[in-house]
Amino acid sequence: MFSSDDTIVALATPRGRGGLGVVRVSGVQAQEVAQALLGRGAPLEARRATVTTLVDVHAGRRQTIDEVVATLFPGPRSYTGEDVVEVSAHGSPVLLDRIVELAVASGARLAEPGEFTFRAFLNGRLDLMQAEAVADLIEAVTPRQARVAFDQLEGTMTARIAALDERLFDLTARLEASLDFPEEGYHFVTPDEVVDGLASVRGEIEAALGEAAQGRLVREGGQVVILGTPNVGKSSIFNGLLGSSRSIVAAEAGTTRDLVTEKLDLDGLAVTLVDSAGLRLAADVVEEEGVARARGAVEVAAAALVVLDRSRTWSAPELEAVREADGVPRVVAANKVDLPAAWDAAELERRAGVGAVEVSAATGEGLDALRSALVGALGGGEPLRDSPAVANRRHAGLLERAAEALRAAESGATAGAAEEFVLADVARARTAFEELTGSRTPDQVLEHIFERFCIGK
């Protein structure tokens, strides 16, 4: 893991040209490093943006290379809990790289990915769930993802876990007190109170876990593959949902030979939309591979969109296309409703046992309804919550472990087991809580979490 004894520096804004770039320095020598960079004798005032110059000393000659704004955030009231200096300079990559080089020459070292946030965690500025939320907020590509990450960063889940742990701590204290005075006959908690207390905490954990699938969908997104026979309008629907001509549309069958993918914000869900080859007996080896890839995409998809041509006489391949998506949540789109209908919803229900959203890729009719249907399929048929309680697989796994331990404790207390056995199961649940917040987490887990951060955060 990282060493927290030295002073670190990194570019805190994305690489590339821009109006501004920010270089961040953190550690015990942050102020000394800043003084070496800036052409001023007086130290920086705490939390006061100071316009000053940046000085480059080369071959014994001092040269002013930029006018910057420098701000000192003294520890412990800073992002990392240490002294932090942020230098806002003009956004030239050459200039920003030189600032970092000068900071290293003045005693700092280059920060590793996530090292600033790791120091915030070590210094008690953030717990582990909040630290993970920092990375999620940076990586958010939809407003819903950003909202869920910010709720976690503000400590919504942290406060919820702390409240549950406080109740388990109180129960533990009373069980241990009863255990310490067996001969005197003192009982600080009744068996019914133990069972009720355990069941109450477990119920709240399970309620949070009930939102975990939707939370992971919001955080991680999902893949939607478009299926159908040739020339039903799959690529036109693909383009219509995206709002741009991303996939080739032509009257000739078999235009799409490979998987065409594009990112889509679908009501706040980061969806990867996949246009695929038409499902039919392939005319050549290339098309055969395209059809095989289409079927393979269904196996890893979160949902499938099956497109049918309502203006074309129903045939067996249409039914086969619908059945290709039997293993995943499915939405059927009856396309080309702007043309005379060759079949209706009743026939689709009779033949395939499913309903359909009527759309026209040519006119845009029904596309909003189709988007809503896809969101419903991805969310398991339930309305999406704005801020699901649990959105992280690590959090869900630890909460499941805590719930399992409390179920065992509850079962033991109901059966009249000795306090020692109940206490052991309660301790397992509290250990899971500690791993959630990071107060007891193996180094390998910490390393895995922070390695996905960008440098400078």
Given a cut of 70, whether residue 187 has pLDDT beyond it is no
Domains (ranges, CATH) in the chain? 8-125 (3.30.1360.120), 135-211+390-438 (1.20.120.430), 218-378 (3.40.50.300)
Residue 111's pLDDT band (cuts 50, 70, 90): very high
pLDDT tens readout for residues 309-351: 888 888 777 888 778 778 788 888 889 989 998 888 787 788 7
Which residue is listed with tokens 């003009």?
Answer: 90
The whole-angstrom separation of Cα 297 and Cα 290 is 10
* Portion of the chain with pLDDT greater than 70, in percent: 88
Q: Of 157-166, 262-271, 287-296, which has the strongest mean pLDDT?
A: 157-166
Q: Evaluate whether 13 touches 456 at the Cβ level (below 8 Å).
A: yes
Per-residue confidence (pLDDT) for residue 304, from 0 to 100: 86
Residues 6+ apart with CB under 8 A from 378: 217, 222, 224, 266, 269, 271, 302, 303, 329
Using CB atoms within 10 Å of the CB of residue 36, give its burial: 0 to 12 exposed, 13 to 18 middle, 19+ buried.
middle
pLDDT tens readout for residues 212-244: 888 888 888 888 888 888 888 888 888 888 886
pTM over 0.85, yes/no: no
